Amino acid sequence: MIETAFNGFTRFDIDVNGVRIHGVRSAATLASRARPPLLLLHGYPQSHLIWHKVAGTLAERYTVIATDLRGYGESSKPAGLPDHGNYSKREMAHDQVGLMHALGFSSFFVCGHDRGARVAHRMALDHPNVVKKLVVLDISPTLTMYEETSMDFALGYWWWFFLVQPAPFPETLINASPEAYLAKKLTSGSAGRTPFTDETYAAYLSYMRDPGTVHSMCEDYRAAASIDLVHDRADREAGKKIVCPLHVLWGERGIVHRCFAPLQDWRKFATTVSGQSVASGHYIPEEIPQILISELITFLG
């Protein structure tokens, strides 16, 4: 099923920025050379497989590259540094920019979901000449979400506050029952287990059963609650904003919709912002793939 969804795609493993990044790209043919590149970045606790319902259709119009972020899927999982800097969104964005350059793309479109959207946010700030247009799915800016934390948000996004605890506490608890943890994380949303095929769910569970991946995921969140906030506050104080066109989509049945105002939030961090809520929970690429495809084609052109 997963393999069929990526028919015509080529798997790759590319060493860049001190790590190996795994991913897939749509066929590089004479006919596809005119198709603009589109980088797809997944969220937690998943991998590039979240795009399996949309990648094939998008590949008819774009050169699609879907990767596993540092620490996720089949990409490298370095041990976290004391300041969590090697899992900062700045470093994770460097990975992806270097990867795209290695594939021959100096500028490109980006669509990110969840953690991938946070990496894409930093990419657009640090590499403004690289990101042509940006789409973020079901997030408000990290700085906003931490600074405006409410009881409702803290209870709904409990992993934001659990995973950031010092190692090895969260790792130990997750490794004791990865099956129970993944079920709690993935299936407690508004759509339950429905968005996830048996094949993708099994893949996500295989990642959660790997202690190295669990540690990396925790480091991603530890970075978000520490060094990433330092970077974000420095940019805010300097008045630095995303300058490429930004399109924001968020699920009207999700916690971001309930606790934040994504369009208003992003207009404080970007110069040109469009977007809307969509009939979905958090996992937009797997819940409403056809709506997402339509939104991407309309916005990216």
CB 123 within 8 A of CB 97: yes
Buried-exposed string 114-144: b where 16+ CB fall within 10 A, e elsewhere? bbbbbbbbbbbbbbeebbbbbbbbbbbbbbb
282 carries an active-site annotation: yes
Out of 68, 95, 114, 228, the active site residue is: 114
Q: CA-CA distance, 222 to 215, in Å (whole number)?
A: 10
Helices (H), the chain: 2-5, 55-58, 89-102, 115-126, 142-147, 151-156, 159-162, 169-176, 178-187, 198-208, 211-224, 227-238, 255-259, 262-267, 284-287, 289-300
Q: For residue 240, what are the CA distances in angstroms to 73, 155, 157? A: 32, 32, 28
Prior bond of 285 cis (ω within 30°): no
Q: 84, 113, 257, 282: which is the annotated catalytic residue?
A: 282
Give me 285's structure tokens: 């690429």
Question: What DSSP character marks residue 244?
Answer: S
Could you give the CA distance from residue 5 to residue 2 in angstroms, rounded to a whole number? Answer: 5
Catalytic machinery residues: 114, 282
